[in-house]
Amino acid sequence: MIWLAWRQFRTQVLVVAGVLAAIAVVLLLTGPHLVSLSDAYLKLCHADRDCGSTTNPVVNTDGTIESGFSDLLLLAPALIGIFWGAPLVARELETGTYRLGWTQSITRRRWLAVKLGVVGLVSVAVAGLLSLMVTWWSSPIDTANANRFGGAMFALRDITPMGYAAFAFALGVTAGVLMRRTLPAMASTLVVFVAARVAETDWVRPYLMPPVRADMALTPGNGIGFSLTPTGLQMVTNPPTIANGWGLSSELVNNSGHAPTTAFLKSACPSIANVAPAGPVVGRARIHVRVAGGPPQQAFQDCIAKVAAKYHEVVTYQPASRFWAFQGIETAIFIALGLLLVGLCFWWVRHRLA
């Protein structure tokens, strides 16, 4: 049966192997250049003892390759689910060839197990290889960016793509088994996979482990602004950049835990507060006052200094040391979901496709 599963799948594997090889060539040709570029920069800035105020040039080099392969890695699990998962059983049901397979001297359970095993393992391997190549190639950039934990980067590095691929593949097969038609199965695989990934990223991943809380001084860094809410004027801060960590939230409070009042902000930052439009605010709408190009730079600096004298930021974040724990948990979650779907497939093929 392994022979048959491989024989049916062979051409596609060869095509994908070719694509992976081409990607490897591009990455191998351009990768070493990034490493030397980064090393040269770090040598220089370490000599000047000033690596903080300038940007490592690797960040802006080969941006096309970086975003291209990141997109590919983002899409790869979905493509695997759509083109390898969904047709795996659905195509056999559609063309009637399952009647050929299921009447050889081999049980249906073994037929499905081998197909799932062969194509599933190749799927995970393809995602793993692609991730390995992209992770290796972009390591100088990730080091310079110091944010491989946060947002999209986390999902496009190391082992998480394998978990996504396993889940997407199982999802595709399940959709095919339940719907018995290839095209609807492909479409629903895409929809459900994207929904699952978005839901996990926004609602689950930040809370996989309780975030760390830290008090930090307010500095005129990035992400400070004002917002007009029904309750009055608020100063909005974003989590500061924490080396390799993942900032989740940030709140401005004084020592007794209260946020700055509208009156205080108006007195501390008169020129900025006056820019904010007057009048009622409907619902929960927030009007952001853009600082850049707004009041003069000096007035802004003064405002921050006055606020910082009485208030500080309370930041929650996931520290860099948890990167591998998060990678492991996230991968395990998707593999577990995939295994649940595989179990459903076996049950359905045994009891409902009869």
Partner 1 sequence: MTAVLEARGLGKRYGRRWALSDCTLEIPSGHVVGLVGPNGAGKSTLLNLAVGLLAPTTGSLTVLGGVPAEGPTQLGRIGFVAQDTPTFSGLSVADHLELGARLNPGWDRAVAAQRITQLGLDPAQRAGKLSGGQRAQLALTLAVAKRPEFLILDEPVASLDPLARREFLQILMETVAEHGVSVVLSSHLVADLERVCDYLIVIVASRVQIAGPVDELLASHRRLIGARREPGTLPGNQEVIEASHTDRQSTLLIRTDAPILDPAWTVEEIGLEDLVLAYMGQAAAADRGRPATLGVVK
> Which residues bind to partner 1, rule: CB under 8 A?
1, 3-4, 7-8, 11, 95-97, 99-100, 102-108, 351, 354
Nearest Cα neighbor of 33 from 55, 66, 68, 70 is 66
Q: From edge to edge, which strands make up the β-sheet containing 212-217?
A: 212-217, 312-318, 246-253
Nearest Cα neighbor of 305 from 219, 241, 215, 216 is 219
Residue 314 bridge partners (DSSP): 215, 251
φ/ψ (deg, to 5) at 213: -105, 140
For the CB of residue 8, give the shortest distance to partner 1 in the complex, in Å: 7
Q: Which is nearer to partner 1, 290 or 351 (CB)?
A: 351
For the CB of residue 108, give the shortest distance to partner 1 in the complex, in Å: 7
Q: Which is nearer to partner 1, 23 or 93 (CB)?
A: 93
For the CB of residue 173, give the shortest distance to partner 1 in the complex, in Å: 18
Q: Which is nearer to partner 1, 96 or 277 (CB)?
A: 96
Estimate to the nearest angstrom the gap between the alpha carbon of 280 and the chain centroid: 38
Q: Which is nearer to partner 1, 6 or 136 (CB)?
A: 6
For the CB of residue 283, give the shortest distance to partner 1 in the complex, in Å: 49
For the CB of residue 109, give the shortest distance to partner 1 in the complex, in Å: 10
DSSP state of 255: T
* 227, two tokens: 């917002």
For the CB of residue 104, give the shortest distance to partner 1 in the complex, in Å: 4
Q: Which is nearer to partner 1, 42 or 353 (CB)?
A: 353
Q: Which is nearer to partner 1, 12 or 145 (CB)?
A: 12
Q: Rounded to whole angstroms, how far apart are CA atoms 291 and 224?
A: 8
For the CB of residue 347, give the shortest distance to partner 1 in the complex, in Å: 14
Convert 112-132 into a string of H (helix), E (strand) and C (coil). Answer: HHHHHHHHHHHHHHHHHHHHH
Only one residue has tokens 């993942």, namely 246
Question: What are the b/e assignments for 6-40, b being 16+ CB within 10 Å?
Answer: eebbeeebeebeeeeeebbeebeeebeebeebbee
Q: Which is nearer to partner 1, 115 or 157 (CB)?
A: 115
For the CB of residue 26, give the shortest distance to partner 1 in the complex, in Å: 31
Q: Rounded to whole angstroms, how far apart are CA atoms 307 and 146?
A: 28
Nearest Cα neighbor of 247 from 151, 139, 152 is 151
Q: Which is nearer to partner 1, 182 or 237 (CB)?
A: 182
Estimate to the nearest angstrom the gap between the alpha carbon of 293 and the chain centroid: 32
Q: Which is nearer to partner 1, 67 or 97 (CB)?
A: 97
Residue 312 bridge partners (DSSP): 217, 253
For the CB of residue 188, give the shortest distance to partner 1 in the complex, in Å: 22
Q: Which is nearer to partner 1, 7 or 284 (CB)?
A: 7
8 Å CB contact between 276 and 228? yes
Q: Rounded to whole angstroms, how far apart are CA atoms 114 and 127?
A: 20
For the CB of residue 20, give the shortest distance to partner 1 in the complex, in Å: 22
Nearest Cα neighbor of 229 from 255, 259, 198 is 259
